[in-house]
Amino acid sequence: MIAIVKESATNDQLQHFVKWIEGRGFRTNVSRGENETVVGIIGDTTQIDPFLLESMDIIETVRRVSEPFKKANRKFHPEDTIVDCGHGVKIGGGNFQVMAGPCSVEGKNLIEIARCVKDAGATMLRGGAYKPRTSPYSYQGMGEKGLDLLLEASAELDMPIVTEVMDPRDVQLFVDKKIDVMQIGARNAQNFSLLKEVGKTKTPILLKRGMSGTIDELLMAAEYIMSEGNENVILCERGIRTFETRTRNTFDVNAIPVLHHLSHLPVVGDPSHSTGYTRYVRPAAYAATAAGADGLEIEVHNCPQEAWSDGAQALTPAQFADAMKRIALIREAVTADLDKE
């Protein structure tokens, strides 16, 4: 960490500051420039709040030099982490997986959709039983019954399931039922009570980036889970909030290579929430794959009989099947060893 001292600071003030820092167990390195003096603070600076230093009278600004996350940091763990999601499905480190299924578990049609997505090449089944909804008047999900429907489908098709947990009080239920992967949604990306609670389990966690979460905050959320003992974390870029309103969110496709650069954890793209409109889901899914994602989470819904309700951002099974073929080709294009050819 580096503190830039104001030109106006007296030598005494500077000495006082350096002593104060050293009194907290850090080493320092003082360098005098033309217009300002820089104090390097050496040691485990994850403990220091940079805003605190910046509030001091003689300090101009403070810059972090090292990342505030450790367990999620590629620097201290250079090889890719591979997360085992159960049913023989692994993600990360060269393993690419597609999680597909309906936004919400609605009933018996789940098994039908599950079969469609499996036939098209999906290896994991997604579906929401507990639904975070902006309005208290909107449908809040089937709850425990929804979990049971997911487990039935999982057993019948031998696929791991991914489903959201919203409340720390529900975590034990998810563990007891042996849910394969627990999802933390964007709205709970800084719900630290929930992050700690799932950190105490061994269940793999699909951790979504918050709507206005920075990449560093996503990694700090992962750190919360990992620091409790659960290192099975899969990161998910699902679009961020910007000024653009033509799509539901802005898909930050850059985040995929950035996360790979900073962390060893697997990174998944969610083209459904990143766009919000069926017509843009496939281009976004291709983009995520091309950018090097380790997997995708895609909403798929079948409703040939009820033409109007395929969900604002869901693909039909036919659209999904077409997409899966192109996704495989793109994955090949970006991972091929071109020198060999």
What pairing do the DSSP bridges indicate for beta strands 181-184 and 205-208? Answer: parallel
Of 278, 267, 250, nearest to 208 by C-alpha is: 267
Of 338, 339, 256, 252, nearest to 290 by C-alpha is: 256
Question: What are residue 206's DSSP bridge partners?
Answer: 183, 234
Q: Between residues 69 and 101, which has the closer beta carbon with respect to a second copy? A: 69
Residues 79, 261, 304, 305: which binds a second copy (CB under 8 A)? Answer: 261
Minimum CB distance to a second copy, residue 57 (Å):
8
Stretch near a second copy under the rule CB under 8 A, chosen from 79-87, 93-101, 106-114, 290-298: 290-298
256: contact with a second copy by CB under 8 A: yes
Residues 80, 148, 152, 322: which binds a second copy (CB under 8 A)? Answer: 322
15: contact with a second copy by CB under 8 A: no
The encoded tokens of residue 303 equal 């409703």
The encoded tokens of residue 271 equal 């083209």
> Contacts with a second copy in 117-136 (CB under 8 A)?
132-136
Q: How far apart are CA 282 and CA 302, in angstroms?
A: 17
Q: How far apart are CA 275 and CA 283, in angstroms?
A: 10
Q: Between residues 160 and 210, which has the closer beta carbon with respect to a second copy? A: 210
Angle at 238 between CA 233 and CA 243, to 5 degrees: 140
> Contacts with a second copy in 148-177 (CB under 8 A)?
166-169
Q: How many CA atoms lie within 13 A of 226 on its CB side?
A: 22
Minimum CB distance to a second copy, residue 34 (Å):
6
Amino acid identity at 110 = L
Q: Between residues 33 and 88, which has the closer beta carbon with respect to a second copy? A: 33
Minimum CB distance to a second copy, residue 292 (Å):
5
> Contacts with a second copy in 193-252 (CB under 8 A)?
193-194, 196, 210-212, 214-217, 220, 223-224, 227-228, 240-248, 250-252
Of 162, 85, 160, 84, nearest to 127 by C-alpha is: 162
Minimum CB distance to a second copy, residue 152 (Å):
26
> Contacts with a second copy in 64-93 (CB under 8 A)?
65-66, 68, 75
Stretch near a second copy under the rule CB under 8 A, chosen from 89-97, 150-158, 172-180, 271-279: 271-279
Q: How far apart are CA 77 and CA 263, in angstroms?
A: 8
Minimum CB distance to a second copy, residue 285 (Å):
9
29: contact with a second copy by CB under 8 A: yes
Q: Between residues 89 and 264, which has the closer beta carbon with respect to a second copy? A: 264
Residues 113, 265, 291, 300: which binds a second copy (CB under 8 A)? Answer: 291
Of 145, 94, 101, 140, nearest to 120 by C-alpha is: 101
Backbone angles phi, psi at 233, to 5 degrees: -110, 130
